[in-house]
Amino acid sequence: MTFCTGVDTITTMNISPEIAKLIREIKKDKAHGASELARRSLEVLKIAAEHSQAGSAEEFLAEQKGIGERLKSVRPAMAPVFNMVSQFLSALTEKGGEKDLGSAKSFAISKADELVESSQRAVAEIARFSSELIEDGDIIMTHSYSSTVAESLKAAFKKHGNIEVIVTRSGAGRTGERIAQELGGCGVPVTFIDDTAIGVYILVTNKIVVGADRICSDGKLVNGIGTYLLALAAAKADIPIYILCETLKFDPRLRGDGVDLEEKKASEVVKRRALPPTAKVKNPYFDVTPLELITAIITENGLLASKEVIGYIKTLTVGK
């Protein structure tokens, strides 16, 4: 596995200040999940198309490719950002013979909208499948913010009306606060705990559901830091753990040990000067969970048992 220190290299190519600012926001975003940031990446490309000053279709295509390649690189742990932008650029390249600039722009805008809508439909399907998996009276634990998990738990609560959710703080980035706010705002009974209390509260949990930033070619799960420890605790307590994610989260390109885990600011972990200057402070945002600790993965196409995951990945071409 590798770690990225977050050096900003956006200025290495000629991108307008407005678009560069939007890309930096995606790079620095700590509040949103991978699917949301993938959809935001398409929105950036759409905005760039709408405001492009390119003088020809060829120049416009080069501009979109440059922005797309930069977007693919800013969140290396998040497979859907890479995959969705890759799908968009592939579609534009196939239309590369289009000589009319206006038509090229119109196609780019409509394709961005199409891919965003497809992702939103996928999340709705996952919510439908998972609400059938969750039962009345369940106490569910979740970790790390995921818009797919949030929608799925809200759908389950609407269907059953009698579920409770235990939400972890979810690491130094505190991404669990957002999902607790979303669920609580919809009336879902929420218990918010520090990550260190997982071993206590897992004993009253029926199921665990988490999202994913990437499912690697070897079936390993990349998700918010602490997911691996939660999965170990779940295995010890014999609690099933389900991963809710779009097919766009699957990445046939990389094994788990090749993923950049995105090192973030040390100040999130400990206040400056609180430790001796010789002490190293590490703050990875993601970790890697082995496939054998996962019960099943729920995608927009239904439930995949862990033993089916590797075979399924071999059938995919997303993001290649």
CATH superfamily of domain region 125-314:
Translation initiation factor eif-2b; domain 2 (3.40.50.10470)
State residue 112 phi and psi, 5-degree precision: -60, -45
Q: The whole model's pTM is what?
A: 0.85
125-314 and 10-123 share a CATH fold: no
> For residue 264, what pLDDT is reported?
86
State residue 299 phi and psi, 5-degree precision: -115, -175
Dist CA 22 CA 230 (whole Å): 33
Dist CA 182 CA 148 (whole Å): 12
The tens place of each residue's pLDDT in the chain, 320 residues long, gives 554 444 444 444 578 899 999 999 999 887 788 889 999 999 999 999 999 999 999 999 999 999 999 999 999 888 899 999 999 999 998 876 567 899 999 999 999 999 999 999 999 999 999 999 999 999 999 999 999 999 999 999 999 999 999 999 999 889 999 999 999 999 999 999 999 999 999 999 999 999 999 999 999 999 999 999 999 999 999 999 999 999 999 998 889 998 888 888 899 999 888 999 899 999 999 999 999 999 999 999 999 999 999 999 988 854 44
Domain ranges of the chain: 10-123, 125-314
Joined together, the tokens standing for residue 52 give: 């492009």
At residue 278, what is the residue type?
T
Helix (H) or strand (E) run with residue 192 in it: strand 190-193
> For residue 11, what pLDDT is reported?
41
> For residue 320, what pLDDT is reported?
44
> For residue 83, what pLDDT is reported?
92
Using DSSP's 3-state secondary structure scheme, residue 78 falls into coil
> For residue 139, what pLDDT is reported?
98
Architecture of the domain whose range is 10-123:
Up-down Bundle (1.20)
Unique residue bearing structure tokens 């020809």: 56
Angle between the N-to-C axes of helices 34-50 and 79-94, in degrees from 0 to 180, rounded to the nearest 10: 30
Whole-Å CA distances, 29 to 24, 83, 86, 119, 247: 8, 19, 21, 19, 22
> For residue 317, what pLDDT is reported?
59
Taken as a whole, the chain contains a residue count of 320
Using DSSP's 3-state secondary structure scheme, residue 97 falls into coil
Contact 171, 195 (CB under 8 A): yes
> For residue 96, what pLDDT is reported?
66
Q: What are the start-end ranges of the H helices in the chain?
A: 17-28, 34-50, 57-74, 79-94, 101-133, 147-160, 176-185, 198-201, 227-237, 309-314
> For residue 173, what pLDDT is reported?
86
Residues 6+ apart with CB under 8 A from 230: 141, 143, 168, 198, 202, 208, 210, 241
> For residue 10, what pLDDT is reported?
41
